[in-house]
Amino acid sequence: MNSEKINFLMGNIKKIGILTSGGDCGGLNAAIRSIFFRAKTKYNMDVFGIRDGTIGLSKRPVDVEKLTHETFKGYLLRQGGTFLGSTNKGNPFKFPKNGKVVDTSKLIIEGYKSLNLDGLIIIGGDGSMQILKKLADKGKMNIVAIPKTIDNDVGATENSIGFHTAVDVATQALDNLQSTAASHRRSMILEVMGRDAGHIALNAGIAGGADVILIPEIKYSINGVIKKLNEMKKNKIQHSLIIVAEAVKKEDGSKVMHKYLDGEKRLGGIGDYIASEIMKKTDIECRVTTLGHVQRGAPPTANDRILASAFGVYAVDLLANKKFNRMVAWNNRRVVDVAIDEGIKTYRDVQRDDPLVETALSLGTYIGEIK
């Protein structure tokens, strides 16, 4: 029996790995940094960073680096994205390769085992956690999960890493659009990310003073939007700000999608639709800004750095105490943990009784056909 196996059976967690999976966001490097310092300072663990998520585990040799104090010198804490790299391309159980679909899960599990890790901390959204939990079950991998997603749609936690940064970027965009909207008496439309959840649009819309907030969860009408803009004109306000989440549908219920050269379809273009419909029916001049990936790559806000740091510390403690298959979460102003399965199954979108919906309405914002 090798020494790593003996250490584990005796209760010593001495060697752990970290990987980031799914779309990047602000705060990932802060989480990795926190994991390293907690593991090294309190438990004297060796910490290994796996590059490019599960792709790194499928390579031979495994694409991994041992993290040291020198790794975290300089500006990593302040940097967006993840220095380890990530992947959101393909399910390893149905991975596209050379025109075929193959199962690479065995390769990934073998890669994990070849490192002789006592545990693995995964940082990902609901989709990544679902895939990695399935891999862990199949390969008897000891994992702990940290939720990250700019969409903030993981239901078991009030906040996920990356959300505050995305909201901050969208708010700054509204601040910048305000002056140009006023200069030309235009309606400026800002399209933001969020998938099927409207949290970014709702939060940034309130913070940035949007006159219209459109989110997937609340039905709207173009006439309702126009009515709001006309009311503003009566009050001698000749410009406006509209923020719309990427998954908002057309009035006929269809989604607006972009088809890319690789054949993949992604959400995008609803801002142009809203602008076109407004200009068909009014003399209001519209301009559209699609914010895109700057919401992911921006330097993390203080809130995201703090949340990521707290999550990293707690995740290491879970591994040290052999509490596997758990996800850290932020609830009632403290870090807690729940079963990963619970984190996966509970989806969090914007509900009609969300206090921020009432806040937007109280500010005179049009947010849909709410009676």
Here the CATH number for the domain that contains residue 274 is 3.40.50.460
Q: Which residues have a Cβ under 8 Å from the Cβ of 179 and sit 6 or more positions away?
A: none
Three-class HEC string of 161-185:
ECHHHHHHHHHHHHHHHHHHHHHHC
Kindly state whether residues 91 and 106 are assigned to the same domain.
yes
Kindly state whether residues 288 and 315 are assigned to the same domain.
no
- Domain assignment present for residue 287? The answer is yes
Kindly state whether residues 127 and 7 are assigned to the same domain.
yes
Kindly state whether residues 129 and 222 are assigned to the same domain.
no
Q: Is the dihedral of CA 33, 125, 196, 353 positive or negative?
A: negative
Kindly state whether residues 125 and 232 are assigned to the same domain.
no
Kindly state whether residues 292 and 312 are assigned to the same domain.
no
- Domain assignment present for residue 370? The answer is no
Q: CA 340 to CA 311: how far, in whole Å?
A: 14
* Whether 161 contacts 28, CB under 8 Å: yes
- Domain assignment present for residue 318? The answer is yes
Question: Tens of pLDDT along the chain (371 residues)?
Answer: 454 444 444 468 999 999 999 999 999 999 999 999 999 999 999 999 999 999 999 999 999 999 999 999 888 999 999 999 998 877 888 887 877 888 899 999 999 999 999 999 999 999 999 999 999 999 999 999 999 999 999 989 999 999 999 999 999 999 999 999 999 999 999 999 999 999 999 999 999 999 999 999 999 999 999 999 999 999 999 999 999 999 999 999 999 988 777 777 888 899 999 999 999 999 999 999 999 999 999 999 999 999 999 999 999 999 999 999 999 999 999 999 999 999 888 899 999 999 999 999 999 999 999 87
- Domain assignment present for residue 346? The answer is no
- Give, in order, the Cα–Cα distances in Å from 330 to each of 102, 148, 155, 185, 357: 37, 12, 11, 42, 22
Kindly state whether residues 88 and 220 are assigned to the same domain.
no
Helix 355-362 × helix 199-207 angle, to 10°: 40
- Domain assignment present for residue 347? The answer is no
Q: Which residues have a Cβ under 8 Å from the Cβ of 143 and sit 6 or more positions away?
A: 119, 120, 121, 122, 132, 133, 136, 324, 325, 340
Identify the H or E element spanning 101: strand 100-102
Kindly state whether residues 15 and 149 are assigned to the same domain.
yes
Kindly state whether residues 176 and 154 are assigned to the same domain.
no
User: Which residues form the domain of 209?
Assistant: 164-296+352-362
Helix (H, G, I), strand (E, B) or coil at 166: helix
Kindly state whether residues 168 and 258 are assigned to the same domain.
yes
pTM value is: 0.93
Please provide residue 311's backbone torsions phi and psi, each rounded to the nearest 5 degrees: -65, -40
Kindly state whether residues 213 and 311 are assigned to the same domain.
no
Kindly state whether residues 68 and 125 are assigned to the same domain.
yes
* Whether 135 contacts 110, CB under 8 Å: no
- Domain assignment present for residue 336? The answer is no
Of 151, 153, 211, 304, the catalytic one is: 151
Q: Which two tokens stand for residue 226?
A: 């126009």
Q: Is 151 a catalytic residue?
A: yes
Number of domains in the chain: 2
* Whether 60 contacts 115, CB under 8 Å: no
- Domain assignment present for residue 88? The answer is yes
Q: Which two tokens stand for residue 292?
A: 């895109």
